[in-house]
Structure 1
């Protein structure tokens, strides 16, 4: 009856069967399938769960339960059911694919790689199996392994444009721009112009051409990408880089601004815009020259590309500590730290092999638990638990002492802030480029509740609100908050610095789920209270900046 479309009659018979034979799963399974037909996932899950409880050794039942839970967004339950099904039938391709997909959606590529790897072993002749594995390995920063999987996909299908595209991305990440250009050009020729992937390929090609210094070609493909997708970040990034290289500063700044509007959270456009503007105002210290000691080089050529200010301080601070601890010569490109903190590291020399933080435990290496890694070009975010950095806190803070140009401004910010009250309470509310995945937003109500309990016990308090959404000040009107604009003109290229320094010198600090304010907490030596939002408790909770996860 179900097959013939007589759903109502089928449901009646399945209910009768379930009532007459309560120990048999068939009736419940039938009702579950009817619920699926009726687009009622909650009811379907209930029926399949009851059936699975009656027949826990029936892998297909548990598998269907897991897939239903995944479809309905019940991630933890889906993972449990799928792992149970795979324990019963380790060779179930459907189960491994479903498990890989649900883990990838919930926890990201690095965690899902093992499941995708199992799929590739079970389906060695399927192009998509190797392509999916290569893609998640790429997203995890495991570029050599990603390249192996993608090349396997190309052996099976030499005209697979997406595999060529991903392999081109791998080549660019490991510093092989010329190879990237060839692979991406071939992918662009194979992929139809109407395909959704076409803009991705052309944009990546524009960046590879930029890396090669082929400015006119980069402009041509950057414009082509912008014509396909006007809000494309990397198209404007390539056009901006070409304009900067050709000395067209005004056009470069305008293009970097467009890139930032497309994706405010990405780092490279933020960095280049900041450097161009700061360079017009101040002079960076000349990079130190080093003898190029064999075996003692450590480069970070992507500093300034991965994340914005808070991320960059974590990356640079860690690598400076690492280099000092192991007597290495750190080489970095021009970045905002040159102008704000007088960082004078040598510029990158001859290219070194690329190394992702995913491929080596640099934190364990910092303390000598695992061997030192040198003679490589390191990339990563280094947003690990700060207990590993705690023994070096004095050195970390010393690295980020405001430089000769910045110091008078930093001193003025603190002086004006303390002129408003004896206890500076600083909150960070980040909004503009947040609100998805692990970058969740804590509502201002949590901060208000905390302030209302705290305020009366403070000595002449003043509230400073660090935020990219100044309209939020209205919610805190009863505390008369002050904003960055109340403390002077912003610094062109580093407009964020007033907020950052206020967080660094506050007496009471409430951060957001953001590296910007977390790093300010690491540098703060005056605060006697540190709190942060806790998503599960739905409130602000105390934390120790030097013994905590960077992001929750």
Structure 2
């Protein structure tokens, strides 16, 4: 049975929380692994669907496919929501391959913050890992299992723009279901302005160096700065918190996906795929203003219609900045030239207070930050023990106490 024949349900857990799911990927038994697998070159990504949500998965799948084409390797991956949306029919995972770990020059990755993850994956695969980066899309790679987020500066994907966009076109029945809603939206005006407002997990993960929750008042100021210059504008809002923010945009008479009355194909009814209505609509807007989110950034990469793309950034004096989806960082990390994977106590207090107020800042400091730290520590201890038993536990504790070389090879 092809992966695409399975009933794939889209997960809606938090962006950061879902990362931990990958740690159990190889803990399953070997029922799905074929001991007599084909010896032809293979490139797999067994973590696809586990490292982050939809936008992250698109970057990961694009990296996988581009690398596989460069090396003439067969793609293998587990079932993921993109198969139902875009019709991909890649082979399922048939073998455990050595890990190929993403590295980023001058920027920490999850594998730096959780150093136990690499020895854990090497232990499970019973093979040493190698490192991969943006250049791997040109050089190719065979017979490895890719691990990472692959949220590369979009200039690295630009030479593959046609392939990238082709990978993420909705299946015919899905496109046919979406088009009437798009027509209803365009019938209301001539210039469709799309806003993506991310709340959800960004509110409860203040430590992450990319979580930026922008006040709705700032978005309204941005709209007011361009609204009168537009020809018959219509505001479309995509958000995971529509019920709580729509009233703030009342003067712009906002439209949401609920107003579009889109009926997804029956095969998607149990897949929690309604988010794709927002995503697809953002790819069709004339102007787009995003959150600091992969979801809306990649929608901009797929948007061939818009002439203006804007997003919030860490300079709270100017608040928003225009960007080129094909020549920008997908996420703006705090720290700019020296990106911070995790915010400091001071960062959290000042940023959340400025953007969300005193009450949210107190929650971030005394509830969300400690919970995140405890979860990270427990995850690291678990991985350390699984990788090297008691010795791994000791290394993890030493690393936590400040010995940064505890996990050096």
Question: What TM-score comes out, normalization by structure 2 length?
Answer: 0.63
Which residue, 296, 302, 311 being the options, matches 2:41?
A: 296
Find the counterpart in structure 2 of residue 465 from structure 1: 237
Could you tell me which of 85, 88, 109 is aligned with 1:343? 88
Alpha-carbon contact 1:342-1:404 (below 8 Å) kept: no
CA contact (8 A) 1:431 1:469 kept: yes
> Which residue is 1:485 aligned to?
258
* Aligned positions, number: 276
Separation in 2, partners of 1:427, 1:265: 23
Segments of structure 1 that go 5 or more residues without pairing to the other structure are 1-246, 272-290
Q: 1:481, CA displacement in angstroms?
A: 0.3
Q: Does structure 1 residue 430 correspond to structure 2 residue 203? A: no
Match for residue 290 of structure 2 among 507, 511, 517: 511
> SS state of the match for residue 405, structure 1?
helix
Q: Does 1:332 align with 2:77?
A: yes
2:218 maps to which of 446, 463, 468: 446
- Please say if residues 267 and 304 of structure 1, whose CA atoms lie closer than 8 Å, have aligned partners that are also in contact: no
CA distance in 1, matches of 2:312, 2:79: 34
Q: Which runs of 5+ in 2 are unaligned?
A: 1-5, 23-35, 104-129, 333-409
* Secondary structure of 1:457's aligned partner: coil
Say which of 44, 47, 54 aligns to 1:309.
Answer: 54
Structure 1 residues 497 and 270: CA distance shift in structure 2, 3 A: farther
Q: Distance in 1 between matches of 2:184 and 2:19?
A: 32
Q: Distance in 1 between matches of 2:20 and 2:98?
A: 25
State the alpha-carbon separation in 2 of the partners of residues 341 and 545 from structure 1: 21
2:163 alignment partner, SS class = helix
Root mean square deviation of aligned Cα? 2.7
**Within-5 A mapping of 1:100-499:** 260=13, 263=14, 266-267=17-18, 294=39, 296-358=41-103, 359-368=130-139, 372-435=140-203, 436=206, 437-438=208-209, 439-470=211-242, 471-489=244-262, 491=264, 492=269, 493-499=272-278
Q: Alpha-carbon deviation of 1:495?
A: 1.5
Cα deviation, 1:80-100, whole Å, max 9, x if unaligned, reads: xxxxxxxxxxxxxxxxxxxxx
Give yes or no for contact 1:270–1:308 (8 Å, CA) kept in 2: no
Partner of 1:539: 319
Q: Which has the higher Rg, Structure 1 or Structure 2?
A: 1
Residue 355 to residue 361, structure 1, CA distance change in 2 (3 Å)? closer
Give the deviation of 1:373 after TM superposition.
2.6
Q: Which structure dedicates a bigger proportion of its chain to helix?
A: 1
Give the whole-Å Cα distance in 2 for the aligned partners of 1:269 and 1:460.
46
Q: Distance in 2 between matches of 1:264 and 1:390?
A: 26
Equivalent residues of 1:402, 1:410 under 8 A apart: no
TM-score by length of 1: 0.47
Structure with bigger RCO (C-alpha 8 Å, 6+ apart): 2
